[in-house]
Structure 1
Amino acid sequence: MEPKPVANEKFFLVIRGKSRKGFCRGCIGRVEAETQHGEIVGLVYCSSAGSPKNGGVVRREDTYPLSRHQAQLLLFVSTPSKRLELLCNPQLFTAICELTQDDLVVVKHKRGHMPAVVKNLMQIGRKESKEDLHMLGFEVELLESDHNVSSKKPAPLPLFSAADIIQVVPSYSVPLGLHWKDGKCGSLNRKPVSRINSMPNIGSRPVIENRTGQSVVHNQSLSTSQMPLEVGSMVEVVSNSGVTVYGVIQWLGVPGGKIGEWAGIELDYEVNGCSDGKYGGHRYFTCKGNRALFVPITKCSPDGRFVSSSGKGTKPPETPPVPPFEESDEDVPPVPESEALSLLVGKMKGIQGHINSCYLDATLFSLFSSSVTLDSICQKPTDEEEPITCTLRTIVNRLRRQGFVPAESVMNFRKQLGCDTFRTEEKDPEEFITVLFQKVLCVEPLLKLRSNREESQGAYTLQIFLEKEQMGRVPTVQQLLDTSCVSGDLKFEMMPSCLMIQMPRFGNKYKMFSHIIPSMELDITDLLYNSPRECFICGNLAEYECLQCVPDRKLQPGRIKQYCATCNTQVHTLPSRRCHSPSALTVPADVASDSPVSRHTMQLFAVLCIQTSHYVSFVKYGADPHSWLFFDSMADRCGDDQSGYNIPEVRTCPELGDFLCQPEEELAQANPAQAPELVRRLLCDSYMFLYQNAVMPICKPNNEEP
């Protein structure tokens, strides 16, 4: 089919997909023609010059449309990754595209994050032909301490790209006392620009500190709403440099040596010069270092990101219509593979996120969208059930019936859970899972673990503990589980119906392994207590287990080693193994030595991932190896932080199936940097792997009679 020409000039940015004939993620192109199969034929621009080069063909769904102005701004951004990062914050990018002369911004600078005034929009490079595309950058004036001192030879103004701007400040919010070189503040009658913040870590430069080291802020009137401020209130404070910082009031009172009421604020991000909750040598509360700010309460205002403004501004976006949902006596089964794509895939699909709810959204979507094993715990409620159980059932039924759950439903559930918090520190999935199964669903512990021959203990999730030296550079989940259980002398009392394994990573930054290979099938036969096991060497019934043989490089390191009596003697005749102390296994009396041993396996059905405090999930919705979904409850946003709403999105990712179908040896050699975007996220950001035994349902709630 011949492509049809495009009448108007159009530009685009490649946002995903494999490199195809000149196009790669983050590159900018110009549409030359479109095919009826949804593909774009285009030219590609190089950031070092504005001349287009031969591009190729790219799928429309793998591109993001750009105006000429947007394309010019992004072309000046140095790397494709920075362009994509900027595009992931559409509110900030929109505000940057609308900047005019004398707008106040915060830019990344070699001395940290600094406030600046936009002076000129500069064209970079020479345009030698009509097809060339000028790059655009911003010439700004930095607001430094000596900005009122005139100079006979003013230095040239620095030039910044769109990616260097991290915040756009409305002109009418410039604090009193801030004067620029021309002695004038921006006109308050100009078009207001909504504050858009990319939420940077501003710890690289003290922003609230004067020469004496005391915290100082400019006078700032209280919001017109006159909202009362109390412990737990979200507030904002404008610093000397014009940067607005946000936080939560943790303490109110009069500190020693001061007059009037002060507020102790735990900031959203670290700021040099702040403390961990101490002021004047006395501790008033406890938080992370460089996050505690103490200021008079009169300097605080309600957080403008969450308080509706009564002043002039753009009309808040209308919330998209939500289809009505009527409760029914009939519980909705998990979404079948044949209906998953039509019901779940797209924008405004899945569970809508709101105020750091991604840990909860991703977990609920993983557990209840397609899992067969967990379906048995979502049964018709009895008269004695708590309202919170009914709320959860409504969320699950709505997700399975309509493919979308609005944020209000989840917020109501969070309130009933007692974790309805507006703090930036969100809950962990394992903490939520324990509360969910224990307090809401009243389910017995999913795991019965026996350690050091002691009585078994219950748990809902399993944390991997091991030394990095015990594993290879790129471990599989199977290897991590085996090594962790062997190191801790841990066994499963019985075959679990659901096994949720937390990876060896701590907090948002530290990861023991740069990436982990998912095990599609998890074999736990050798981890079952008092269960028949086959000899590692000959396959007969095993009678001994040797922990010292696990890391042996001559015997498949990382694998659990158990032997029959004959093989146990032969293996330990080598001088290097004579010091080993194999332990006898409990062999069931009714099992013959040559009887085949049944393997006990579990299948991967979901993976929770985290990157920079944001949780997403991958869900296997069917038996086909390519049946994978990617869910992000906050994939996009409509409107600003004050009156907008998050747009959840569910995407198909069959490329994950292509990758995981490779032999394990090839997976271990794969380079995540060269893998498709979603494959890379799964390998590098995995937080918890969820496995199920499809033939074994979850046990009944402990408040029901059998």
Structure 2
Amino acid sequence: METKAGGKEKFFIVTRGKARKGFSRGCIGRVEAEIQHGELMGLLYGSGSNAGSPKSGGVVRSDDTYPLTRHQAQLLLFVSPSSKRLELLCNPQLFSAICELSQDDLVVVKHKKGHMPGLVKNLMQIGRKENQEDLQMLGFEVEFVESDPTPSKKPVPLPLFNAADIIQVVPAYSVPVGLHWRDSHSGGLNRKAVSRINSMPNMGSRARQMMEMQSISQSPNSSHIRLDVGSMVEVISNTGVTVYGVIRWMGVLPGKTTESAGIELDYDVNGCSDGMHGGQRYFSCKGNRALFMPVTKCSPDSRFLCSPTYKESLKPKEPSPACTYDFEEDAPPIHESQALSLLVGRMKGIQGHFNSCYLDATLFSLFSSPTTLDTVCSTRKPTEQPISCTLRKEIINRLRRQGFVPAASVMKFREQLGCETFLTEEKDPEEFITVLLQKGLCMEPLLKLRSRGEMFQGAYTFQIILEKEQVVQMPTVQQLLDTSFLSCDLKFEETPSCLIVQMPRFGKKYKMFPNIIPSTELDITDLLYNSPRECFICGCVAEIECPQCLPDCKLQPGKIKQYCSTCNTQVHSHRLRQGHCPRALVVPPQMHTDNSVPRHMMQLFAVLCIKTSHYVSFVKYGADTRSWLFFDSMADRCGDDERGYNIPEIKACPEVGDFLSQTDEELARANLSQADELVRRLLCDSYMFLYQSQSMQIDK
């Protein structure tokens, strides 16, 4: 359906960024010139009846746009408001199918009566082309399968729909015929007869139509298609009425010997239930919609049968590697110079499936970039467990060699975790991390924590525990960790190789702080037991620590305070500090007061975020401050909830690195309302921060 005119023209849609010289998100323009600094100079098309006429010119960053063909621009220009254009663009599988529609293709459109099936009859040009710069909009004339097949004596104009009104596309069974063009100002209507059989009678409050193409007998034999829970089916009753629905349950009913299916119908039918049968509940749905039938009497929904080629197009494709990968051989960590080319894009990362985003985001955070866990993963044991083998071959090696892990590999791994809830429910990342490291990798606890001078305890993650009033309104991770350790009287027994810090939030919704500033470096020197520490005042070796001095507004609040004996006397001579209870520190005997104290630093390498039960992750893939990636295992979806699949996506987000490169003072003064969207998401939705020891860090 690509027009020949304007083949060399370049069009675009603005996808992000602030409004600049007339260009805002969702507006469509035509490139006039490409200027320096990655910017485009173009004409902006307006909206409404004069949408096809250029409204003004302006400049926009090329990074903030998405390129369009002339045909795509014409289709999107007819879509209004502009936010709907962006929504459609976020579903590339559907948009691509809409752009390739041919006459008599079956579509489902949004209509005031609901979602209606119909046939595309014409592609219509909308608006006059008075000037060469004008861009005519394009819409689709769609003919519904009417409930009354009696032809009308007076031709009825076909309803016109824009591209965003189409929610599903199913190719016609016959050989596609080119669309007939008709201008909105011309007279006649070029139409082709539609083959149909008797329509289905009304049932309840809604009416559905059954239609059949003459060539349906040439389609694949539907009896060979396996039906499962989630399959869309049709059932023909004894009276000849066809009803449609989705299988919600399969099994053998009491008193029966053959398999039955519990079907949730598309509409109400008298005599049906809400999922109950014989006094027992098998699934839940609206009343008068649950029908139980033998599986042998169920057939695939003929309204949406399509060719094998189209079915294959709906399945997630793995990247086509130039060579055959050996997933048995351990893949080295992805180098910083190769990360963007291998990982960035759609169908990249780990594909989500069935409440798996908590697991996908955690695995990507731990293994997409070089971390201290690589040494453990690459060390094979004589009797390697199936779960660790699957983790290494099916997930880590696939991710590092192909940049993509299919949902099947993740489901196999979830099955081996040994708990049914890992397959069916959304879990907390800290619970998964403990099972992964303890059972999957047979690792000792990452953290050894000493409480009040007693023997240490092991843990895989650390939960921040404090009172909200103990720190500032927008704290850093360093402040939260220091305050929590002092409040709970905890110390690290030794420097951890990996430190996973869980933020103070409860459940999926409540969080103690609206924003938390990530500390790209954590200084844990003052949190180590039996390690030399520096006097807060003079810099000599500290001998005394005072928890009550932590929030002192005159002594840098939020900073741990420890003193040499001289400074301790001076500080606590103040009348407001005379009630403090300093405690002695353990000073290594070999330390001298004039020795410099070594610092123990941890580097941030990933952040897990959550919003409305959906987990995503930010990962630092290299040494450069701007080397950050954003990963969402369920960024988009192809197909419906029952038979579709999730589309994972990875984006480069150097703006995150730019923001975090600022000083603490600059971060505290930052206007978050003007920050980039991903930066705001990082600060607002942070759930876990992942650090690794600087001394043990693997080269990237």
TM above 0.5: yes
Alignment of 1:93-132 (within 5 A): 131=133
1:378 is paired with a residue of what secondary structure? helix
**Shift of residue 533, structure 1, vs aligned partner:** 2.0
2:628 equivalent to 1:625:
no
2:66 equivalent to 1:63:
yes
Check whether the contact 1:262–1:295 (CA below 8 A) recurs between aligned residues: no
Unaligned stretches of 5+ in structure 1?
141-157, 193-222, 255-260, 266-276, 699-706
Distance 1:63 1:73, change over 3 A: closer
CA distance in 2, matches of 1:471, 1:324: 54
CA distance in 2, matches of 1:184, 1:264: 17
CA distance in 1, matches of 2:438, 2:292: 42
Alignment of 1:579-594 (within 5 A): 579-594=579-594
Greater shift, 533-542 or 568-577, is seen at 568-577
CA distance in 1, matches of 2:586, 2:263: 60
- Alignment-derived partner of residue 602 in structure 2: 602
Distance 1:665 1:697, change over 3 A: closer
**Shift of residue 464, structure 1, vs aligned partner:** 2.2
**Shift of residue 67, structure 1, vs aligned partner:** 5.5
Q: Which amino acid aligns with 2:29?
A: G
Check whether the contact 1:234–1:303 (CA below 8 A) recurs between aligned residues: no
**Shift of residue 442, structure 1, vs aligned partner:** 0.4
Deviations 1:31-82, CA, capped at 9 Å, x for gaps: 33457998643223455773532122432684142665666656754464x6
2:387 equivalent to 1:388:
yes
Check whether the contact 1:250–1:285 (CA below 8 A) recurs between aligned residues: no
- Alignment-derived partner of residue 54 in structure 1: 57
CA distance in 2, matches of 1:521, 1:458: 23
CA distance in 2, matches of 1:467, 1:252: 55
Distance 1:462 1:672, change over 3 A: same
Deviations 1:613-636, CA, capped at 9 Å, x for gaps: 443332222222122233344445
Distance 1:170 1:615, change over 3 A: farther
2:30 is paired with a residue of what secondary structure? strand
Q: Which amino acid aligns with 2:416?
A: Q
- Alignment-derived partner of residue 503 in structure 2: 503
- Alignment-derived partner of residue 84 in structure 1: 86
TM-score of the pair, normalised by structure 1: 0.70
CA distance in 2, matches of 1:283, 1:535: 71
Alignment of 1:236-385 (within 5 A): 295=290, 297-298=292-293, 314-317=310-313, 319=317, 320-322=319-321, 323-327=323-327, 331-385=330-384
Check whether the contact 1:536–1:562 (CA below 8 A) recurs between aligned residues: yes
CA distance in 1, matches of 2:536, 2:513: 28
CA distance in 1, matches of 2:486, 2:282: 42
CA distance in 2, matches of 1:346, 1:473: 36
Check whether the contact 2:501–2:690 (CA below 8 A) recurs between aligned residues: yes
Check whether the contact 2:233–2:298 (CA below 8 A) recurs between aligned residues: no
Q: Which amino acid aligns with 1:316?
A: E
TM-score of the pair, normalised by structure 2: 0.70
Alignment of 1:5-20 (within 5 A): 7-8=7-8, 10-16=10-16
2:362 is paired with a residue of what secondary structure? helix
Deviations 1:490-536, CA, capped at 9 Å, x for gaps: 32221111011122334444443333221111111122223222222
Greater shift, 550-559 or 520-529, is seen at 550-559
Question: Which structure has the larger Rg?
Answer: 2
**Shift of residue 335, structure 1, vs aligned partner:** 2.3
Greater shift, 388-397 or 647-656, is seen at 647-656
- Alignment-derived partner of residue 183 in structure 2: none
Calculate percent identity across the aligned residue pairs. Answer: 59
CA distance in 1, matches of 2:693, 2:286: 45
- How many residues in Structure 1 have an aligned counterpart in Structure 2? 627
Distance 1:643 1:182, change over 3 A: closer
CA distance in 2, matches of 1:279, 1:495: 58
Unaligned stretches of 5+ in structure 2?
143-158, 173-195, 217-221, 235-242, 255-259, 265-273
- Alignment-derived partner of residue 688 in structure 2: 688
**Shift of residue 293, structure 1, vs aligned partner:** 12
Check whether the contact 2:14–2:27 (CA below 8 A) recurs between aligned residues: yes
- Alignment-derived partner of residue 544 in structure 2: 544
CA distance in 1, matches of 2:665, 2:37: 37
2:664 equivalent to 1:668:
no
CA distance in 2, matches of 1:251, 1:563: 72
**Shift of residue 400, structure 1, vs aligned partner:** 3.1
Alignment of 1:424-463 (within 5 A): 425-463=425-463
Check whether the contact 1:103–1:186 (CA below 8 A) recurs between aligned residues: no
- Alignment-derived partner of residue 155 in structure 2: none
Check whether the contact 2:78–2:137 (CA below 8 A) recurs between aligned residues: yes
Check whether the contact 1:447–1:496 (CA below 8 A) recurs between aligned residues: yes
Q: Which amino acid aligns with 2:665?
A: E
- Alignment-derived partner of residue 413 in structure 1: 413
Check whether the contact 1:368–1:396 (CA below 8 A) recurs between aligned residues: yes
Q: Which amino acid aligns with 2:664?
A: E
Distance 1:529 1:348, change over 3 A: same
**Shift of residue 429, structure 1, vs aligned partner:** 2.5
Distance 1:164 1:687, change over 3 A: farther
Greater shift, 343-352 or 91-100, is seen at 91-100
Distance 1:654 1:100, change over 3 A: same
Q: CA RMSD in A?
A: 5.6
Check whether the contact 2:201–2:207 (CA below 8 A) recurs between aligned residues: no
Q: Which amino acid aligns with 2:362?
A: T
1:576 is paired with a residue of what secondary structure? coil
Deviations 1:197-248, CA, capped at 9 Å, x for gaps: xxxxxxxxxxxxxxxxxxxxxxxxxx9679788xxx557899xxxx999897
Check whether the contact 1:337–1:621 (CA below 8 A) recurs between aligned residues: yes
Alignment of 1:632-643 (within 5 A): 632-635=632-635
- Alignment-derived partner of residue 555 in structure 2: 555
Q: Which amino acid aligns with 1:56?
A: V
CA distance in 1, matches of 2:493, 2:102: 64
Q: Which amino acid aligns with 1:379?
A: S
- Alignment-derived partner of residue 150 in structure 1: none
Check whether the contact 1:498–1:693 (CA below 8 A) recurs between aligned residues: yes
1:501 is paired with a residue of what secondary structure? strand
**Shift of residue 558, structure 1, vs aligned partner:** 2.0
Distance 1:58 1:458, change over 3 A: same
**Shift of residue 137, structure 1, vs aligned partner:** 9.8
CA distance in 2, matches of 1:495, 1:302: 62
CA distance in 1, matches of 2:38, 2:215: 39
1:615 is paired with a residue of what secondary structure? strand
Deviations 1:142-166, CA, capped at 9 Å, x for gaps: xxxxxxxxxxxxxxxx999987998
Distance 1:465 1:292, change over 3 A: farther
